[in-house]
Structure 1
Amino acid sequence: MRFGFTEHQERFRADVRNTLRRPEVQAAAAAATGAFGVEPDARPLYRLLGELCLLAVHWPVEYGGRGRSLTDAAIVAEEMVRAGVPDTLHVNTVQIVGQFLLMAGSEEQKRRYLPSIARGESFASVLYTEPDAGSDLGSLRTTAEADGDGYRITGTKVFSLKTRFVDFGLCAARTTPGAGTYRGMSLFLVDLRAPGVAVSVIPGIGDEHFHRVDLDAVVVPGADLLGPRDEGWPLLNEALAIERTGLDYYLKAERWLDAALEALVDGEPEAVPSGLLEQIGRWHGALAADHVLAWEVLTGIAADRVDQVATAVAKYHSSELAQAIAVRAADIPSPDQRADRTGAAVTLESAYREAPGLTLSAGTSEVMLQLVAASFDSIGQGD
């Protein structure tokens, strides 16, 4: 179990923190942060971060990275969120799609996509969820029919984030319908500017907007099939586990708890709800545990050990905790703080609207509990 960082890691963290404190970075981060249902374009901020070589530090140098460790990349992710950098473009483009390319991409695909991502010049979205399938990829209905040397993809994807700002999507589709629930599934890199692609906003309450992507016989070259045909599920299963470190949810919870404390300090002491201080103490303890667990998962992944149960526990607990903090802390700012739109009040109001989706993304809490329960069933059966 990991409880601290090495001297090398602490020096690297200090360097990253100092870079992110530069006035031009802080100004760009502020301009990229949504509020009151308005979602700004964060790409100028990410182009700046790309120039500073902070987007993909763990990628090989030949693909635009700095050849550092995965744990160093996690340190950068922590410091970016703490510096006010909205993280969705980074999570989707670098941590998910970029990771897929590193895992399963051809050499040509890696050289075509990764350097521009690392420079902050190209962005990606994740196209998994469908209207009738939800987060159950076994119910996938989007099809990819062979067409000469390529494919034609038809279907509808929903609840993708930042999609109107990105260049391509990682799309899961059936290449062999009827092969079985988790068989006959493939992954594609789809140009979202191609004919037949229609992107629309799904009305919601969050500052980040969900999108619907309709694909009408969209032509995808064979060179944009990611990994072997019909072998998408094993890749998805491995990558989803890597996505569930819990670190991103922990960082949201940390930021929202800090905002709650700021609102309390600036408010009237006699207005503090009964039992809230005790609850804050409990949250701090739970946050400390989440941080240790997230780094235990990250350290394992860096050593090529992916523990499906540990990732499920990390994702479940950190997302549930972040949601609980957001819901309870929304009542902390005083009416005056809300009226004056103080920084803490704006943060907590935004958190309250984001919170409902935290226990749904990257696998619902119910799915995480099923994964944990299945591991206990295996132990009980002697497997």
Structure 2
Amino acid sequence: MRFGFTEDQQRFRADVRRTLRSAEVRAAAEQATGAAGVEPDARPLYRMLGGLGLLAVHWPVEFGGAGRPLTDAAILAEELVRAGVPDTFHVNTIQIVGQFLLMAGDAEQKRRHLPALARGESFASVLYTEPDAGSDLGALRTVAEPDGDGGYRITGTKVFSLKTRFVDLGLCAARTTPTAGKYQGISLFLVDMRAPGVTVSMIPGIGDEHFHRVELDGVAVSAADLIGPRDEGWPLLNEALAVERTGLDYYLKAERWLDTALEALVDRDPDSAHAAHLEQIGRWHGALTADHSLAWEVLTGLEAGRIDQLAAAVAKYHSSELAQGIAAWAADIPSPDQRANRTRPAKILDSAHREAPGLTLSAGTSEVMLHIVAAAFDSLP
């Protein structure tokens, strides 16, 4: 268990924080932040961050990183969110797809894709979820059929991915042997999102970030776009999902929303507006402290080469439920005047209330996380 940060980690955090406080970065972050259902293009901000070397610090230097520890990448993620940088591009491109390539991609795939991702010149998204499959990837119906020339043609529908209309690559799960068992015969591909046969449309929703529907109609991919062995995608997905479920990104949302609620309370009445909420504020802070420890327990394990499915499930469940709870509570904090004047806290908390319902669904539902925990206890002697 981690109870503090090393001097080197503290110096790194201070350097990152100093850079992110520059007027240029702050202005770009403000322009990239969505509000009232409008989703701006955040790619210019990420190109700036890539130029500053603040996207993939833990990747090897040859792939555009700085060769720093994975735990420093977590420190960077914390400071990006605290500086007001919208985090979806970073989570999807660097923490999920890029990390998956580092873990499972071959040398050529890494050379071909990782440097551009690290520079903020290319972006990626995940194409797992399907209309009738939901969180159960064993029920996916998308198929990748051999084209006779060593490549494949992918056909199917994917839903609920974020930022997809802006991205260049999709990490797609498809069945390469449909007659195999439920969790067999699945393969993973990198799909060019500008390729013929790819159609991206928005799904109506209440959040400031828009979900998308992706239709894949015989999309051509080469053998070089297959990640890992054919039909062996399920074990890779299990490892990748554990890496994705550190809980850190949800913790950071919860922290930001609680801080914003406190800001709204002080703006309402600096002397006494918060008095009626003191007990609940204390409980939220206690839960956030526990949440941070859970996330860093997973992160330090990953740094040491340990993938703990149980710890990741606990961290993801606790952090997403906590963030959702804080967002629901904070929705009633802004006063009518703050809402009417669209103050900064009122806008952030309104956006949080609309975003929060999806947090306990993404990266695996809360029910799936509880199932993982229950299964672990069932296996005890």
TM bucket (normalised to shorter chain) is: over 0.9
Aligned equivalents of 2:219, 2:308: Cα separation in 1: 37
> Which residue does the alignment assign to 2:203?
202
Structure 1 counterpart of 2:110, one-letter code: K
Superposed displacement of residue 218, structure 1: 0.5
> Which residue does the alignment assign to 1:85?
85
Superposed displacement of residue 8, structure 1: 0.7
Q: How many equivalent pairs are there?
A: 380
* SS of corresponding position for 1:41: coil
Aligned equivalents of 2:294, 2:276: Cα separation in 1: 27
Q: Does residue 222 of the first structure (1) align with residue 223 of the second (2)?
A: yes
Superposed displacement of residue 269, structure 1: 6.9
Matches within 5 A, 1:53-202: 53-147=53-147, 148-202=149-203
Q: Does residue 51 of the first structure (1) align with residue 54 of the second (2)?
A: no
Closer/same/farther in 2, CA of residues 106 and 280 from structure 1, 3 Å limit: same
Structure 2 counterpart of 1:253, one-letter code: A
Superposed displacement of residue 276, structure 1: 2.5
Cα offsets for 1:36-76 (capped at 9, x unmatched)? 00000000000000000010000000000000000011000
Structure 1 counterpart of 2:56, one-letter code: A
* SS of corresponding position for 2:141: coil
Q: Does residue 39 of the first structure (1) align with residue 39 of the second (2)?
A: yes
RMSD of aligned alpha carbons:
1.1
Aligned equivalents of 1:320, 1:277: Cα separation in 2: 21
Please, which moves more after superposition, 25-34 or 264-273?
A: 264-273
Structure 2 counterpart of 1:45, one-letter code: L
Q: Does residue 296 of the first structure (1) align with residue 274 of the second (2)?
A: no
> Which residue does the alignment assign to 1:351?
352
Superposed displacement of residue 350, structure 1: 0.3
Q: Does residue 328 of the first structure (1) align with residue 305 of the second (2)?
A: no
> Which residue does the alignment assign to 1:370?
371
Aligned equivalents of 2:171, 2:272: Cα separation in 1: 49
* SS of corresponding position for 1:182: coil
Aligned equivalents of 1:205, 1:29: Cα separation in 2: 22
Superposed displacement of residue 268, structure 1: 3.6
Cα offsets for 1:294-331 (capped at 9, x unmatched)? 11110000001111111100000010000000011000
Please give the TM-score of this superposition, normalised by the length of structure 1: 0.98
> Which residue does the alignment assign to 1:305?
306
* SS of corresponding position for 2:379: helix
Superposed displacement of residue 293, structure 1: 1.1
Structure 2 counterpart of 1:42, one-letter code: A
Please give the TM-score of this superposition, normalised by the length of structure 2: 0.98
Superposed displacement of residue 271, structure 1: 8.4
Aligned equivalents of 1:214, 1:22: Cα separation in 2: 41
Closer/same/farther in 2, CA of residues 270 and 63 from structure 1, 3 Å limit: closer
Aligned equivalents of 2:368, 2:284: Cα separation in 1: 24
Aligned equivalents of 1:168, 1:64: Cα separation in 2: 17
Superposed displacement of residue 275, structure 1: 5.1
Superposed displacement of residue 273, structure 1: 8.3
Aligned equivalents of 2:48, 2:166: Cα separation in 1: 16
Aligned equivalents of 1:179, 1:342: Cα separation in 2: 55
Cα offsets for 1:261-285 (capped at 9, x unmatched)? 0011111479858852211110000
Q: State whether residues 266 and 273 of structure 2, in contact with CA within 8 Å, keep that contact through their aligned partners in structure 1.
A: no
Structure 1 counterpart of 2:283, one-letter code: R
